Structure 1
Amino acid sequence: MTTMARAETNFTTPETNLATPETTQKPGEMTSAPSLQASALSECVYILTAKHEIVVSGFATMISHHETMKSSHETSFSAIAGMMALTAPTLAMKALSFSIKPTVAAYAAKVTEMV
């Protein structure tokens, strides 16, 4: 005959002590539990603080992204300014040639009239 030992399990529940504030509340009146209100307020402050930190973190990320974009734009503007500086003499020559052409054409017309 085999005897198996059975472990005894003792399920105990922790005692919960719900503190009730001492009030002079009359039957039928609204309950104002200051300790519960303070606990709820503390929880709200904790949640709002956590949300605020997330929002601040989000703003920091946005500012960092903005700075990166700003740097990128400054690089683009610098490149554009460099290209303009390189092409400015060419553009000036083209503008000069446009202003010269009508003068040459007018001179050629006068010479033709004279002949």
Structure 2
Amino acid sequence: MLTYLFMGIVLLAIGIAVHVLKWNILVAYYNTKPEAKKNNKNTESYRKILGFYGYITGGLFFLLAFLEYRGISVPPTPVTAIFIVGTMIVMYFAQKDDEDEK
């Protein structure tokens, strides 16, 4: 339960930091781009996508922590697999959005 709660807090904090506080340093793909390609539209798009992903995954981890608190056991292996696959899908579409604007 504590692991799910910790992950929920961390992901929610990352979502807020990227989306609301506009900490571009947390957007890894953005930081690898040349200065000429770092325009404001792409930055806002990345922050929005990653911020909402942080909100959604953080909320799901809070839900898992609540389920564990209520006595419903949730195995960590499927949760980790779903989280990794979801992250790869989000990063694929974030980069695809960048390629479409070329």
Shorter-chain TM-score: which interval? 0.3 to 0.5
TM-score of the superposed pair, with normalisation by structure 1? 0.31
Q: By percentage of residues, which structure has more helix? A: 2
TM-score of the superposed pair, with normalisation by structure 2? 0.34
Higher relative contact order (CA 8 A, sep 6+): 2
